[in-house]
Amino acid sequence: MRRRAFIRGAGLLAAGMLLPIKKIFCGPTPAEEAILTWTELIDYARWCPSPHNVQPWRMKIISTAEAHLYYDPKRLPSVVDGTSAFSTVGLGMFIECLDIAARKNHIQIVASHANEPVLNAHAPDLQLFAKLYRVQTPAEISVDRELIKKRKTSRLSYDGKIISEDIIRSLTALAEKYGQQFSFSTDEDLIRYTIDLNSKTVLQRADEEDTRKEMGQWIRTTDEEAKEKKDGLWYKCNNISANMFRNFFFHHERFKSKWKRNFANHKMNKTMDGTANLAWITGPFSNRADWVNTGAMLQQLWLEMTKHDVYMHPLGTIVTTPSSSEAFRRRIGFNGPANDFWFLVRMGYSKEPPRSFRLETKDILMS
């Protein structure tokens, strides 16, 4: 009894040291309540994946019920994502993360989108993407929000295990709910062909100066830089030595000779040893509504894989390079509109990959 009274006393003392007396008795003001409510959600959503880990999102809190999502034009990779499709997918994924995090408290996030068909990478300031509203919902929580923090990209070698039919069935059904088709293959020839096509395409794109320059902004070749900037592609997450990563982007002339290219091609292929599962997604992907919809789906799919300890590694360079996209589509006999083939990944089981850095919640909040 005496021990319990002591603990209660110690708790009050600690709170007293952190909060002014008024706060202990009156509770937080509406403005403080709004910040607490939204930061709980942003603490999850900041772990959302984004192409090149650019994390273009910023949030302005208006009230407990409303916050505005902005994007930072300086963070959009406009050379490799000219239509802004994949940046929009990323922002759609971020909204989905906020929604999944809110569901625990029977709240859903409803988005009212800015009337901007394509993101403006050249705008001088932050741009409004959507107004977000917290709305009560009786809907049950369908996804454990802790999976948002657990999910990671694995660019390591995989262990050769084929993913079970049950998991593939649940991924296929999920995609269907969003009007998309999830296709899957364990064909060894197709997998070998795709990995090699990806490596060759990466080498080809790195020959383009504007692409290399844009990528260079997001390449983190030291641990200090990765930690300090809290964004971008850290060499450790890319399963490549710091030296090779630096030389590839900043001394690319060293990769001109045929033998060096063959060596790099071979090395890149090697990092993907053990890949036994390939998947691609097709479906409507031609405007902002499609990109937001597929973003929500991609977040759900990735968390479903994480739930089963399945990793994935997007092979986006094939998709965004017209000649490689065409070669892959021809290889799989896809006859739909070229635009509809928009996502390609290898999937499987690997050792736990390193965790990439993230901006902190305070960096995402706008004053």
Ligand X SMILES: Cc1cc2nc3c(=O)[nH]c(=O)nc-3n(C[C@H](O)[C@H](O)[C@H](O)COP(=O)(O)O)c2cc1C
Tell me if 127 contacts ligand X by CB under 6 A: no
x/- map, 87-126, ligand X, by CB under 6 A: --xx--x---------------------------------
Rule CB under 6 A: say whether 49 interacts with ligand X: yes
* Residue 294 engages ligand X in binding (rule: CB under 6 A): no
Between 34 and 249, name the residue whose CB sits nearer to ligand X.
249
Q: Does 248 bind ligand X (CB under 6 A)?
A: no
Among 38, 45, 53, 283, binds ligand X (CB under 6 A): 53
Residue with tokens 């300890």: 309
Q: Which amino acid is at 222?
A: T
Closest to ligand X by CB, 34 vs 96, is: 96
Q: Does 77 bind ligand X (CB under 6 A)?
A: no
Q: Is 364 one of the binding residues for ligand X (CB under 6 A)?
A: no
Minimum CB distance to ligand X smaller for 43 or for 66: 43
Query: Which residues in 310-329 contact ligand X (CB under 6 A)?
Result: 313-317
Which residue from 200, 201, 238 is spatially nearest to 219, judged by alpha carbons? 238
By CB under 6 A, tell whether 51 contacts ligand X: yes
Q: Which among 83-91, 113-121, 206-214, 359-367 is the span making contact with ligand X, rule CB under 6 A?
A: 83-91
Nearer to ligand X, 50 or 84 (CB): 50
Where along the sequence are the contacts to ligand X (CB under 6 A)?
A: 49-53, 86, 89-90, 93, 152-153, 155, 233, 237, 313-317, 356
